[in-house]
């Protein structure tokens, strides 16, 4: 998709309550936080779900992807700061 575009996918299940938000954040190393969000995943509500191949024009944030400095955070009512988190890693198919 080019050097500044990405297709972002996220899958989750077994959440403590319904998902109410999901974002990409960065730059931040694993275990560190970054705010505000830099891309809204607009996830469906529910305790399980997915966002598949949401197209993102990363712009200047593209430089952070090879260094694993971007992460996805899925938020619920029970855990509004984020219930699950995963660093984004580049993948080519």
Interval 5-60: pLDDT, tens:
888 889 999 999 999 999 999 999 999 999 999 999 999 999 999 999 999 999 99
Full-model pTM: 0.88
Burial pattern 9-43, b for ≥16 Cβ within 10 A else e, equals: ebebeebeeebebbbbbbbbeeeeebeebbbebeb
Contacts made by residues 58-62, CB under 8 angstroms, sequence distance 24+ = 58/4, 58/5, 58/6, 59/4, 61/26, 61/27, 62/3, 62/4, 62/6
Give 43's DSSP letter: P
Give 44's DSSP letter: P
């Amino acid at each position: 998709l080019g050097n500044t575009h990405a297709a972002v996918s996220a899958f989750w299940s077994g959440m403590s309550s319904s998902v109410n938000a999901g974002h990409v954040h960065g730059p931040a190393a694993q275990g560190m936080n970054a705010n505000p969000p830099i891309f809204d995943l607009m996830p469906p509500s529910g305790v399980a779900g997915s966002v598949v191949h949401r197209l993102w024009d990363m712009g200047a944030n593209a430089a952070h992807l090879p260094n694993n400095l971007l992460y996805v955070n899925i938020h619920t009512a029970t855990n509004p700061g984020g219930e699950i988190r995963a660093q984004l890693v580049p993948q080519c198919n």
